[in-house]
């Protein structure tokens, strides 16, 4: 009898505790105790209040409209206000504007190429090796993100200028860096340095070295391991980093404006040419060229979204393929080539 009363009292204590807890959380006590399914809680338990959702969505829409949508619409409105003929003439009719487009489409890919080489090498070193100063290397990769582009350009001036550290020696060798296209490539490469490396480091750490070690044990060379094992595993992260790097490179203004000298027809990229046209009170041409940069940014966003969707699908496909791994032929060596 005493045991039955004790059990009843314990059950009552548990029920009181569940009721108090459910009041704190605003949840049905029967749901909290497991006697009623969670699906019966209703919308008011599983969603924020309607007024809060309306306020947050409206606030987000207002901020995006003021900071993004309205400026973009205004750029295209001002660019096309005088008609499509005047728009085309403003872009291709001015030799300096044409040259700025060509120069931008030259500097950006070269900077991206430099960053791809550096990013793969840095990611490989950080993800595959443990060495003194590894944390310092990772920190230095992030320096361009924390340093102002103008300060970075000034650092190049102090390094390669006539009064700089390397300037006098370069002058004696007949080499000019500042106010030339190589200076634009150097500055753009520095500003966009972290994008590829930062995308590849976590990818390579997550993949691990197992497949590479397996290929090495089968006699594959270093280049074979890279092209047939490493690159296919990191291709989506690499492509994502290239897209971000290219977008940043095409829109770079601060560092490039310092090292270029803004020489018309020689070192003016598209962002610099937009400023030159705007300062010359040639607003239609400035907005026309700005619209080209906006279109390139739109293409970048489309590619970025495509890569994100494809990258999200790839792991599921890989897992599905892994279930059929027993039906795959065993890797064999043919000479110095890994074959399947």
pLDDT confidence tier of residue 100, bands split at 50, 70 and 90: very high
What's the CA gap between 250 and 239, in Å, rounded?
17
Query: Is the model's pLDDT at 122 over the cut of 70?
Result: yes
pLDDT value at 32 more than 80: no
Residue 279 β-bridge partners:
none
pLDDT tens, residue by residue, 200-232: 999 999 988 888 889 989 888 888 888 999 888
Find all residues with CB under 8 Å of 28, minimum gap 6, and list them.
22, 36, 40, 41, 45
Main-chain dihedrals φ then ψ at residue 85, nearest 5 degrees: -65, -45
Whole-structure pTM value: 0.73
Q: Among 9-13, 24-28, 100-104, 131-135, where is mean pLDDT lowest?
A: 24-28
The H helix count followed by the E strand count for the chain is: 19, 2
Q: Helices (DSSP H) in the chain: which residue ranges?
A: 2-25, 29-33, 43-46, 50-64, 70-80, 84-92, 95-128, 134-141, 143-146, 149-160, 167-172, 181-191, 193-207, 210-217, 222-225, 231-250, 254-260, 270-279, 283-322
Distant-in-sequence contacts of 15-23, Cβ < 8 A, 24+ apart: none
Averaged confidence pLDDT in the chain: 81
Residues whose CB is less than 8 angstroms from the CB of residue 260 and which lie 6 or more positions away in sequence, other chains included: 179, 183, 184, 267, 268, 269, 272
For 236-277, the pLDDT digits (tens) are 889 989 999 999 999 889 899 999 888 888 889 999 999 999
Residues 6+ apart with CB under 8 A from 82: 284
**SS3 breakdown of the chain: % helix, strand, coil, rounded to 5?**
80, 0, 20
State the architecture of 84-311 in CATH terms.
Answer: Orthogonal Bundle (1.10)
């Amino acid at each position: 009898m005493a045991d039955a009363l004790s059990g009843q009292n314990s059950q009552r204590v548990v029920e009181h505790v569940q009721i108090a807890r459910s009041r704190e959380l605003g949840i049905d006590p029967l749901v909290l105790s497991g006697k009623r399914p969670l699906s019966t809680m209703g919308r008011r338990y599983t969603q924020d209040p309607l007024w809060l959702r309306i306020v947050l969505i409206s606030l987000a829409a207002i901020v995006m409209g003021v900071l993004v949508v309205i400026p973009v619409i205004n750029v295209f409105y001002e660019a096309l206000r005088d008609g499509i003929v005047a728009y085309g003439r403003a872009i291709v009719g001015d030799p300096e504007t044409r040259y700025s487009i060509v120069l931008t489409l030259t500097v950006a890919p070269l900077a991206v190429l430099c960053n791809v080489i550096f990013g793969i090498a840095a990611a490989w070193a950080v993800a595959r090796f443990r060495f003194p100063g590894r944390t310092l290397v990772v920190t230095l990769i992030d320096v361009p993100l924390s340093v102002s582009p103008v300060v970075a350009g000034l650092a190049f001036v102090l390094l390669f200028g006539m009064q700089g550290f390397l300037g006098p020696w370069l002058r004696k060798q007949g080499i000019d860096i500042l106010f030339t296209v190589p200076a634009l490539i150097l500055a753009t490469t520095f500003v966009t340095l972290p994008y590829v490396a930062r995308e590849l480091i976590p990818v390579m750490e997550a993949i691990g070295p197992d497949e590479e070690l397996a290929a090495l044990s089968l006699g594959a060379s270093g280049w074979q391991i890279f092209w047939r094992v490493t690159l296919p595993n990191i291709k989506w992260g690499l492509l994502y980093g290239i897209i971000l790097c290219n977008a940043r490179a095409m829109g770079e203004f601060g560092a490039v404006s310092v090292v270029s000298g803004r020489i018309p027809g020689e070192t003016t990229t598209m962002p610099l040419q937009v400023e030159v046209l705007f300062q010359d009170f040639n607003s239609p041409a400035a907005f026309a060229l700005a619209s080209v940069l906006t279109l390139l940014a739109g293409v970048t966003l489309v590619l970025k979204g495509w890569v994100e969707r494809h990258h999200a699908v790839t792991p599921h496909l890989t897992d599905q393929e892994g279930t059929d791994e027993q039906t795959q032929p065993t890797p064999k060596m043919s000479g110095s080539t890994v074959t399947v």
